[in-house]
Every structure is written in C-alpha cells, then in structure tokens.
Amino acid sequence: MMIIEIDGYFNQALLTGKKCSKQQLRQMYRQADQLTFETRDFANVFCRLHNFDQIPYSADIEVDFVLDTDTGRIYSPSY
C-alpha cells in the first residue's frame, strides 16, 4: 500500500491504494485530471477511477508521493 497527498489551493487530501511507480502515478493523475471539472473534486475522481480510498488528513503522516494539483507536479517528499 502507498499513501498519496493531494495538495492544491482548494483541497488537501490523503489517499491510500495499491503501490505504483511514479510513471504509473503520472498516467493516473493525467486521467483523473482530464475527467475533473472542479479542482476540489479531483481526489474523489482519482479514488473512483483507480480504487484508492480517502483517509483523514493529517500533516503528521509521511506520504510516498505528493500530487500538486496547482502545478501538475508529482514528487516524493523527503522527511
């Protein structure tokens, strides 16, 4: 399992789902982004498309990747 943080101006969310590579994640991000009309709905669309679950947000949780919906950047944070 992996944890992804969705970081955007309108929303922050934590999602958990099947482990994947950064390249796979980029494709999943693009797919969800194309089907999202409202930025704040991105996490819900991503979860429905890719079988991820949303978990309660906490800044203390270490995540595998961050998806920045404002810039489209995907990165692994360093802790």
Count of C-beta atoms within a 10 Å radius of residue 24: 12
- Helix intervals (H) in 1-78: 22-35, 42-50
pLDDT in tens, 13-55: 999 999 999 999 999 999 999 999 988 899 999 999 999 999 9
What token pair was written down for 44? Answer: 């819900």
Handedness of CA 2, 12, 54, 47 (dihedral sign): negative
* pLDDT computed for residue 17 by the predictor: 98
The model's pTM: 0.92
Q: What span, in angstroms and rounded, lies between the C-alpha atoms of 79 and 63?
A: 9
